[in-house]
Chains A and B, each alone.
Chain A
Amino acid sequence: MTPFTRADTSILGRWWWTVDRWSLVAIAALMAFGALLAAASSPAVAERIGLDALYFIKRHFMLLPVSVVLIVAISALTPIQVRRFAVIAFLGCIVLLVATLALGVEIKGARRWLSLAGFSLQVTEFVKPTFAVVAAWLFSEAAHDPRFPGRLISTGLFAVVLALVIAQPDLGQAVVITSVWMAQFFLAGLSMWLVGGLVVLGVAGLIGAYFTLPHVTSRIDRFLNPDSGDTYQIERSIEAFSSGGLFGRGPGEGTVKNVLPDAHADFVFAVAGEELGLLVTLIIVGLFAFIVLRGLARAMSEQNLFVLLAVSGLLVQFGFQALVNMSSSLQLIPTKGMTLPFISYGGSSLLGIGIGLGMTLALTRRRLGSEAMT
């Protein structure tokens, strides 16, 4: 377990001894479960929509190593390099978001995908982690120097990103971005009055969405009153967990993937429940909780506000997505299409999460002197 000696001062050697190896192990475990479930769940979906049975598996296994490389490479960066990388990437993302609206492929009434060099890219997946770091930087600068209008700039950027994402429209991603940004603002010392105001605003936004967007209305109605409409998907999902039992039916032996349209993405957790059973799904929940809470604990002992805010933002995004996805499958909240990090199929998601965790690991690496960056 120690490929490098303590004396090794090469980049990789230093990386190994400073990075949070426990989180690394947890991430690797999640990736392994994700690979297993992609192989189990996606052929049924691929065949149903007329693709080669192995289509999703091939793409998942092609992108998984890329994600690993991104995590390792980015986690080797210093906090300043992370910040620079995030700022440049974020600006690039804004351009691509605009391009998505202009040139994007319309699928099911929404323009979320940008075709780029043969790959279709969901830019919002990259906006989420990079914007979290950019916002953290702006908030921390504002705290350092009250004359720097960091909060104002951050709010402005947030408004721009939100507008671009809602224009697609992609309400789920908008909710994630908003939650992360608000969490960071809260940590950055937003006055409790404003916190209350923002909460009210957020609730008002959701209520507004309920009354103005028909598909939101219908989903919430069906959650509050299952008899009011078609609850087929969520019922099958609950059945899947139930039939899986403690140890599951075995990988590939489930049936829920044959009937759920998004078995490889939004409802992958149900496939996990049916095929791998309660114990493994509890382990998956535990892995997510471990990565998030361990990261937050490390952020807590952090002396650098930027690092604290950035790590918190990235982990809130990671944890929030996981919680929304799992809670949807378990009928704890209305169904909301959101990917389960590393477990769901989704190329952009896989890479975006890789970038986010890469930056998290880079920022939580042990550094000599807490003020190693100014």
Chain B
Amino acid sequence: MIRRIKMESTKKQAIETARNRLLIGGALMAAAFLVVGARLFDIVVLNENEDLRRAAARDIVRPDIMARADIVDRNGILLATSLPTASLFANPHKVSDPASAATRIVEVLPDLSEEVVAARLSADKGFVWLRRNLTPTQQFEINRLGIPGLDFEEEERRVYPHGRLAGHIIGFTNVDNAGLAGIEQSMDAAISGAKEPLKLSIDIRVQQIVRQELAAQIEKFKAIGGGGIVLDVRTGEVISMVSLPDFDPNAPAQAPDETRFNRITLGVYELGSVFKIFNHAIALETGAASMSKSYDATKPIKISRFRISDYHPENRWLTVPEIFKLSSNIGSAKMALDIGSERQRKYLGHLGLLRRTSIELPEQSMPMIPARWREINTMTISYGHGIAVSPLHLASAVAATVNGGILRPATLIRAKTPETGGVQVFSAETSDKMRRLLRLVVENGTGRNADAPGYLVGGKTGTAEKQVNGSYKRNALISSFVGVFPATDPRFVVYIMIDEPKGIRESFGYATGGWTAAPVVGGVIKRMAPLMGIKPLDETAPEIVRALNVNLTAGPAEGRPNATN
């Protein structure tokens, strides 16, 4: 009985203890729930972190995984980039009513054909593309149709913010983002998967200047097209490359084929008198002629069935500088005979005019050169006929002629080191003489229209008749001008060609290089020189006059070997 009572009392005591302790436990639980409630209030209402709220308010977007690197110009301006888009596909097995689905889809995407869509939706396949690269609005509208079996694939689409401005250079990709033209194709491996943007040598500002000046002149002279290139003579970097008509790489499929033709690299032309630059340089370099030598240009040369005459006949003896200044074909041909076929061919080869360029573009051509290098070829090549090269070939060789005689391969990729090696083609002395001759042409020769005061432009005109069906056409010209500046220490070559310009009243009916292309070169130089940090010089300063002085008279020992006859 006592034990029973004792047991009862321990029981009572135990339950008392339990109750007291339960009170503590209950209080802890209540406190914990209060803390949770307070924390909720804290996060939502007090919300110390405003960033979190904003971050949460935006929709969750896919992180940037660019399949292709951007392409930028030499100053980092964006030329090509990739944007995420959605592409519409369908699982035809899940589309219950293809006909009505097609009708509704075409209402949103009117560029699709209802029959084609219906046919694709009825196909016995698990996957069909309906349309690639929808805009966000289109995607929303398609979603809103609520058609089962449709879905979107996230893709990337190449976008070219500058549109047609650099279309020929950058090129474009196909719908699967594989490069199909231009840099996009030639540098495909380097661009796809790369993190860093690909930096081109192009300056998009200069590109715009060249395109604008060239387009205005093409319009003015009712030409069918034209091209322009600006080359850094020290590095071989292409600063600008324009071919007109051009196309918008954002919609290459809509562009007519001829607009995708790059006249600068893919086109090869008989470029005419600009070739006299090389003829004179080779003659001076090899010693075949000196600056004070004279040639008989009194009458045209007749050789077999060909007749070589001058455009503005002087009908007198001309010194070597005069031949250049007046662009005498007769004098040039005679100089070429003194050079000889073998040496001419060798030097043209050194200048890179007989092989493909190494420019980073798939669109380029092999020069067209005579199969057999006969005397007549040597003579016509001296003034730029009977050989067809691309404008890029020409600009590159001119750069080598004026930069001290070093050929540096033209490139579209921004050079990492400012000056690269290169191959010495001409001596510095020859190069210096050529700079004087080029300046002479602009100062008071055929290229006066190319002058840009203070920038000491030097240059050479070229007017070539186009060959159509094997014969030359008098009124279908390739009129061009190649300029270098400043002539004392050239930095850039600016080459402009205009395809089939028509003479106008303002040019007194002329459509030659001096009237059509030279003003474009002058205009481009005036606008680009300040951008490139080139200061205008005082053209009358004695050291400049001395540096560019050319003696037009014949020396006592040379020239007129037949004068006494």
Contacts and interface: CB of A to CB of B under 8 A. Distances in A.
B21 A186 contact: yes
B299 interface: no
Contacts of A189: 14, 17-18, 21
B37 A255 contact: no
A313 to B, nearest CB: 11
A28 interface: no
A296 B22 contact: yes
Contact of B26 (A186, A188, A245, A300): A300
Interface in A192-249: 235, 238-246
B287 to A, nearest CB: 76
Dominant secondary structure at the B interface: helix
Nearest to A315: B29
B27 to A, nearest CB: 10
Nearest to A308: B18
A255 B22 contact: no
Contacts of A235: 52
A258 B44 CA distance: 21
A243 B39 contact: no
Interface residues on A, range: 35 or more
Contacts of A299: 22
Given A189-B17, A296-B26, A242 B33 contact: no
Contacts of A258: 60
Interface in B158-183: none
Interface secondary structure of A, over-half rule = helix
B251 interface: no
Interface string B34-76: 0111011101110101001101110110000000000000000
* Among B10, B44, B52, B53, residue most surrounded by chain A Cβ atoms (within 10 Å): B44
B563 interface: no
B11 interface: yes
B19 interface: yes
A167 interface: no
A288 B33 contact: yes
A288 B36 CA distance: 11
A176 to B, nearest CB: 14
Nearest to A288: B33
Interface string A290-328: 001100110110111100110010001001000100110
Contact of A240 (B7, B47, B56): B56
A305 B14 contact: yes
A367 interface: no
B52 A239 contact: yes
A300 B22 contact: yes
A354 interface: no
B30 interface: yes
B56 A278 contact: no
Contacts of B36: 285, 323, 326-327, 330, 332
A282 interface: yes
Contacts of A323: 29, 32-33, 36
B25 A316 contact: yes
A328 B370 CA distance: 84
Given A145-B7, A288-B33, A312-B25, A241 B43 contact: yes
A308 B19 contact: yes
B19 A278 contact: no
Contacts of B43: 238, 241-242, 273, 330
A289 B15 CA distance: 24
Contacts of A186: 21, 25
A183 interface: yes
Contacts of B29: 289, 292-293, 296, 316, 319, 323
Interface string A52-89: 00000000000000000000000000000000000000
A189 B60 CA distance: 54
Interface of A: 140, 143-146, 183, 186-189, 235, 238-246, 255, 258-259, 273-274, 277-278, 281-282, 285-286, 288-289, 292-293, 296-297, 299-300, 302-305, 308-309, 312, 316, 319, 323, 326-327, 330, 332
Q: 9 smallest A-B Cβ distances: which pairs?
A: A243-B56, A239-B56, A143-B14, A289-B33, A278-B44, A296-B26, A189-B17, A330-B39, A187-B18
